[in-house]
Structure 1
């Protein structure tokens, strides 16, 4: 049995089975039992190299075992690192991890994972997935390793050293034309999603904002009092209505940004749709009886519980299909359509930014650049008006 000194530790290397085993004594644990670190390999040299690496990890504070894999790190993160996240977000991240991260990288020992491994993995995914999806998947790995770092399971985060490659072109968002919008509104008339579609199209609210709206967020203007009052108290026999967009179906229940908190006057079409929806929901409540769970939500299931985003998408695609537009549309494109229609009518971009809850016009221009009407001719048109158009030649 050979004894060697590795750093401040005394190690022994001895034959065992078909190879060699190296052991380092780490003293005694709290229970009085001797603690030993072992490594195995085919040759003495390989064992010594493993012991040297193990000592470096010890001195760096890394405590992961040689068997701790990327799968272990990702599963630990899914178990401990998603506290406070919404159920939808947790489900989405778990699907990304179990579909794209664990099957390809899961068996690799975390300590042995290299930037080359991550590069090759992402390059392979880039042949099939959109850039946005690639960023999300890469983010799962980075956060899982970051948590492992915080628990001294690995020294560095190699996923942070790699740039996410560009993936395939994702499906660009679309906007309904005025004629298409009218067809969708007509097709939605007999759908349980009718008021949802009308409100989203005519106010431009986000889908997560629509799902979080409560009836006390719908208010009527009382001229005699010069105040807004919830329709739950004032009813719908008034001329002017608004909605308080103060919440969203997000973690914590707040809107996307502070600027997103806004009060929007309702177009007549939206107010009428909500009036009819309120009556229909009262009938549903009576029909459900004791099964009804009262969350005071504008849009809910047949028993009052919050709507699931995927169910909304499926119901909306049935509407667009009925309107003759196919099933490739999503509810968020009602917001894009609102911006497009506003722009086509000459509404200033500053006003549009306020209506959709953006902090400034730069965000609106970046997100909805395909929906905004080009205004590059405005300068020439204005000068023609001032100085008059003179004939050429």
Structure 2
């Protein structure tokens, strides 16, 4: 994985989405023929497949039409007059143990086969997956971990989540000195399997270079989240999990779900760096639908007296 400039990565993403999402429907129309009615029908068809797909399609189409307005080709952007899309209700979904096992196996074997074109994997994506799974961090937070942010001699071992990777046009990838929100600054204990991975990463670094990132490109620069996600999609393909709504963020939901089930929703919120359990419950912890005997035992007190 090499560092990339976001402007190029974003451009490639938009071009791919334009080709796959928008052009198949509108390729036989001129810009002036892209009316509100046709947009409504197009987005309706997209929503039948996926809300996310429809949302991306609307964004790409809106950018194209906005460009046409600026060039005087059309007088107004019809996307602004199309009905707003209502996001469907979403229930958080954790990975199953079988899915985790399949991802781990595919990550271990990623780009290691004989005769494969391109550079062999250096194992970083495999290690990133383990760290994200065992810390419930965002991908930017995991990639922003530095040597000075980890304490493997503590009992239990711990990491300080104090930054994230951000990408700016023209400036590439750099470490931001705080996570997504300032409230997300936190110190968390890590399980042993994560501590083992971190110790292996530390062994590659100069102990005197405390600011060095645990994960880095072949030239020592921060890893671009875009490239990590691209490799992750390839791993999912090899794991036979393509087409499912699985992203690196799924590890965060999986951790939140397990913590909420075992320790309660507040413990999950604390681990994730949420100031409110409502966010954790609504977007991260999959509802526990296990039938518990406790309520039935309590309600048994209302049973009619034995004659």
Normalised-by-shorter TM-score class: 0.5 to 0.7
Are 2:196 and 1:272 aligned?
Answer: yes
Who is 2:164 aligned against?
Answer: 247
| Native 8 Å contact 2:91 2:282 kept in 1 | no
2:37 counterpart residue number? 116
CA shift digits 1:218-243 (9 cap, x unpaired) = 233xxxxxxxxxxxxxxx55544322
Question: Residue 255 of structure 2 aligns with which residue?
Answer: 338
Measure how far apart 1:157 and its partner are.
1.7
Task: Give the whole-Å Cα distance in 1 for the aligned partners of 2:126 and 2:33.
Answer: 55
2-structure distance, mates of 1:362, 1:172? 13
Q: Does 1:99 align with 2:46?
A: no
Match of 1:203 in 2: 135
Q: CA–CA distance in 1 between the matches of 2:18 and 2:11?
A: 11
Contact 1:131 1:167 in 2 (8 A): yes
The question of whether the paired residues in 1 share the 8 Å contact of 2:252 and 2:284 is answered with no
SS at match of 2:164: coil
Partner of 2:60: 140
Provide the rounded CA distance (Å) in 2 between the counterparts of 1:110 and 1:182: 48
Q: 1:297 to 1:142 in 2, by over 3 A?
A: same
C-alpha separation between the residues in 2 aligned to 1:186 and 1:100?
32
Aligned residues of 1:130 and 1:170 also touching (Cα < 8 A): no
For residue 260 of structure 1, the aligned residue among 184, 202, 217 is: 184
2:239 is the alignment partner of 1:351: no
Q: Is the 8 A contact 1:130 1:167 kept in 2?
A: no
Q: 2:165 aligns to what SS in structure 1?
A: coil
Return 5+ residue gaps in structure 2 as ranges: 110-122, 169-173
Cα gap change, 1:317 to 1:259, in 2 (>3 Å): farther
- Summarize the alignment of residues 50-199 of structure 1 with structure 2, pairs less than 5 Å apart: 86-105=7-26, 108-126=29-47, 129-149=49-69, 153-163=73-83, 173-177=93-97, 192-199=124-131
1:173 is displaced (CA, Å) by 4.3
State which drifts further: 161-170 or 110-119: 161-170
Residue by residue over 1:316-345, the C-alpha shift from the partner in whole angstroms, topping out at 9 and shown as x without a partner, is 665xx4xxxx54554332222211211221
Higher relative contact order (CA 8 A, sep 6+): 2
1:55-105 Cα distance to aligned partner (Å, 9 max, x none)? xxxxxxxxxxxxxxxxxxxxxxxxxxxxx9654433222211233324533
| 1:102-157 alpha-carbon deviations (Å, 9 max, x no partner) | 45335644444321222233344445x31111111111222333344456553222
The counterpart of 2:214, out of the listed 284, 294, 298, is 298
Distance 2:79 2:292 in 1: 47
1:368 equivalent to 2:284? Answer yes
Distance 1:130 1:207, change over 3 A: same
Give TM-score scaled by structure 1 length: 0.54
Asked if the contact 1:213/1:248 (under 8 Å) is kept, the reply is no
**Whole-angstrom CA distance in 2 between matches of 1:310 and 1:172:** 23
- Does the 8 Å CA contact 1:123/1:165 hold for their aligned counterparts? no
Deviation at 1:205? 0.5
Conserved 8 A contact 1:115-1:162: yes
Tell me what 2:116 maps to.
none
In our comparison, the structure showing a higher alpha carbon Rg is: 1
SS of the counterpart of 1:248? strand
Cα deviation for residue 210 of structure 1 reads 1.9
The range that moved more, 91-100 or 245-254, is 245-254
2:231 corresponds to 1:311: yes
Shift of residue 247 of structure 1?
0.9
Question: Greater strand share, 1 or 2?
Answer: 1
Please provide the CA RMSD for this pair: 4.4
